Chains A and B, each alone.
Chain A
């Protein structure tokens, strides 16, 4: 037996991915269906000298990881629906102060307490726009354990590269199911480590003055450079400022550093798109049902293809437009009322060929659900 093979839940895969990426600090609060992440990390982190803390609430967990990140640690918190709502203000703080951190949201049915133990994908728009004010976000997802592992590592890498919070938007089905995972040997997936400033002691360090490539080298708390971190608009010293040119400049920087790098941040998988007459677009666990339909129908000569999104935000509008160029139909498969559907309609230009196969009743969307919609679209009757 290969020692790197595991048969574990998706939530535990996320833990493995985070540890592979170099996680050393986790703060969390119990909530279904993400709790297993906290449980496993409470055991795993101290074994490698890392730290786990169960905070008094969801907000405190988000704040604690931001604090720890400033001491040079790779940090993560995990939550679900209601907890994700509670974290939004502090998440915005991490955006504004450009502090790398990873937030896992194992989605469940909402709004409110909703369906704690059932599957849903209703937080796609919240992940994008949950915190107040204009901002950019990186939100990633995955549909199977090998990809959950890789995308978790990717989340840490992107958080460091762009100095921003990255949201991992998983769902109850992927989080709770068990399947095979092969853990790559160390070094197989490259890691992005914290970019530290090369400015020497005694020389002015500008914590919020981006380099030419847009990156902002950091200096850990406790180091030789002392600076201010604030959620107020701030100048290159990190000191509060409401000067219009400073506000405008920081605003542009925060949005552009992500928006101008859509192609670098974009992760997706495609199946049979070359000749697809109907392109299914899906993500997370829904993509498993979509792929099931595609694989099953292909041998019968139905030209179906699947575009599986792993980067949900920034939304890859251009890529989707290109991939759907020759498709007669585009079918978005998701477990919400059409959150990605709307973005896809914007992307493809002629929205009348875009359709939705969804479920919002807490039941995992089945291949039959998708086939029924396909039959209607293709004019074969209900």
Chain B
């Protein structure tokens, strides 16, 4: 497989970092791939734009940070403003229509997707916005199977919330398929 370098960005509380960990963990535990995940810490992580880097590959990953992502996800305007310039030319830039107004053209496949809106219309709980985003991303990039993500979620969240997460992931998959 092609080495996939991703950056998820948004604001604290959107679950951006959790989504990054779940994705990378699923790749390692359930698909036999290599992955590295890291995130910004400290005061900058407490307000403003949060960021998590994920690299997924089928061989050893040495340099663990992402300088130019093939896939950049921005879930807030601030995150978009801060990070859209780092995208690798020809990469995929996914933004949420509710939160981000794209301004300039990046040299990327820009995908403006109503993820938040869809989650709120269908499930009505903002807490699974990040899982819907993961579903969307999986449909677009096909980097790993959604089942693998579900297996990780089963170990991380109380069983009472699993169905909602499964629904959000499926919702994201459908949404992503439309924007592929």
Contacts and interface: CB of A to CB of B under 8 A. Distances in A.
Contact of B42 (A5, A117, A292): A117
Contacts of B21: 7, 178
Given A1-B30, A7-B25, A7-B28, A176 B63 contact: no
A289 B62 contact: yes
B145 interface: no
A32 B62 contact: no
Interface in A341-364: 364
Contacts of B36: 177-179
Given A288-B62, A289-B63, A295-B62, A178 B41 contact: no
Contacts of B29: 1, 5, 7
Given A7-B29, A116-B42, A117-B41, A180 B34 contact: yes
A173 interface: yes
Contact of B64 (A1, A117, A288): A288
Contacts of A366: 63, 65, 67
A33 interface: yes
A291 interface: yes
B38 A176 contact: yes
A231 interface: no
A254 to B, nearest CB: 38
Given A7-B28, A366-B67, A291 B38 contact: no
B25 A292 contact: no
Interface majority SS (helix, strand, loop, mixed), chain B: mixed
Contacts of B30: 1
A292 B62 contact: yes
Contacts of A292: 62-63
B61 interface: yes
A368 B65 CA distance: 12
Contacts of A291: 62
A176 B143 CA distance: 24
Contacts of B134: none
Contacts of B151: 1
Interface residues of A, number: 25
A367 B25 contact: no
Interface string B48-61: 00000000000001
A288 B37 contact: no
A177 B29 CA distance: 16
Given A1-B30, A7-B35, A176 B41 contact: yes
Nearest to B52: A178
Contact of A180 (B28, B44, B62, B65): B28
B24 interface: yes
Given A1-B29, A5-B29, A7-B29, A178 B63 contact: no
B65 A364 contact: yes
Contacts of A172: 41
Given A1-B29, A1-B30, A180-B28, A173 B62 contact: no
B39 interface: yes
A116 B41 CA distance: 9
A228 B11 CA distance: 57
A7 B65 contact: no
Interface string A1-37: 1000101000000000000000000000000110000
Question: Which A-B residue pairs are the 6 nearest by beta carbons?
Answer: A117-B42, A117-B41, A292-B63, A7-B25, A292-B62, A177-B38
7 contacts: A5-B28, A7-B28, A117-B40, A179-B35, A179-B61, A180-B35, A285-B64
Interface of A: 1, 5, 7, 32-33, 116-118, 172-173, 176-180, 285, 288-289, 291-292, 295, 364, 366-368
Given A7-B37, A32-B41, 9 more contacts: A7-B21, A7-B28, A172-B41, A173-B64, A176-B38, A176-B41, A177-B38, A285-B64, A288-B64
